[in-house]
Structure 1
């Protein structure tokens, strides 16, 4: 069972699950486009707010190569697997 932190929202799990499933790096706009294609109701503004927070807590990493691209970290994968307590 996942150990969510008080600062986390349902959007965070959705973002992390998508990044884990695709095993790829995406820009905020790239995530938005893919979420729209899959009928996942997360807006660009939500991504803009949540990705920096997830990065701050080590669950995603920002790659800066001609813009910001995000990918899930090992800590993010451990959280999804229920092996990391994000509230700690």
Structure 2
């Protein structure tokens, strides 16, 4: 069972599910499909809200990927009303090599 916060709407689950299945997606792509049946502008607003809450991250040009937090929400492992991040770690946006710029001694 999923535990959505008061800030979430039904569209959020559909958007997260679509992005999880497709690895990444933009609001136009989702609006043109049959799974997320909302306007492009509404989907874009919801994606931005989910970026603020740490469920998605924007990878550029309005394309979004699901975060580990988003995955945990979909799997029913977190309650988004109680588990709000204070800030989204920068390393999530920097890819797999983030934080590996130091030499081992």
Tell me the TM-score range normalised by the shorter chain. 0.7 to 0.9
3-state SS of 1:70 partner:
strand
Question: Equivalent of 1:47, from 40, 43, 49?
Answer: 43
Structure in which a larger fraction of residues adopt helix: 1
Contact 2:30 2:36 (C-alpha < 8 Å) held by counterparts = no
Q: Structure 2: how far apart are the matches of 1:83 and 1:40?
A: 23
Return 5+ residue gaps in structure 1 as ranges: none
Match of 1:87 in 2: 81
Higher relative contact order (CA 8 A, sep 6+): 1
Alignment: residue pair count: 82
CA RMSD of aligned residues (A): 1.3
Q: Which has the larger radius of gyration?
A: 2
Question: Structure 1 residue runs of 4+, over 6 Å off?
Answer: none
**TM-score if structure 1 supplies the norm length?**
0.84
CA 1:39–1:71: 2 relative to 1, 3 Å: closer
Return 5+ residue gaps in structure 2 as ranges: 83-105
Q: CA deviation at 1:45?
A: 2.0
